[in-house]
Structure 1
Amino acid sequence: MQSQRVKVVEGGKLVIPAAFRRAMGIAPGDTVIVELDEGELRVRSLSSAIRRVQERMRELNPDGRILSEELIADRRAEAARE
């Protein structure tokens, strides 16, 4: 893992080195996800965080069912029974 020393400045701000920003695809004004994990601060681009969630959802739904359609069908069946 690549590392670089940076300083925390006024207001708790730190500067992400340019090479890191380029590698992560982060531009000025972008939103990032910051996590504290076992004493480590982790920064991810929003697109990276979304990809990770999408991958996790695919793992939980390997056959690609459209769960929202199943939920709607269940609700309609319940309404028809009432």
Structure 2
Amino acid sequence: MTDRNDSAEPEHAEERKRESPGRRSDPLSSLDPVAAYERRTSRIREEIARNRRGEYTVPTWVLAVALAAVIGLWVLVLFVL
């Protein structure tokens, strides 16, 4: 059985090659709606690829809310019930 990271790594390397380092140097590219759409879709595709490889992370605020809920339930059970 092959590891999923081995098969995904060459794809990731190709994605890096496609990005040209000089794309952000043009000041008008930030005003171009087509360029903005392309940047957004490429960021979304890259995030989906990272998540499929298992490189996803849980946002800090979600972890904080979960911790507060667990502590709140614990305090509720200990002191109220």
**How does the TM-score come out when normalised to structure 1?**
0.33
Name the structure with the higher strand share.
1
Name the structure with the higher helix share.
2
Structure number with greater CO (CA < 8 Å, separation at least 6) is: 2
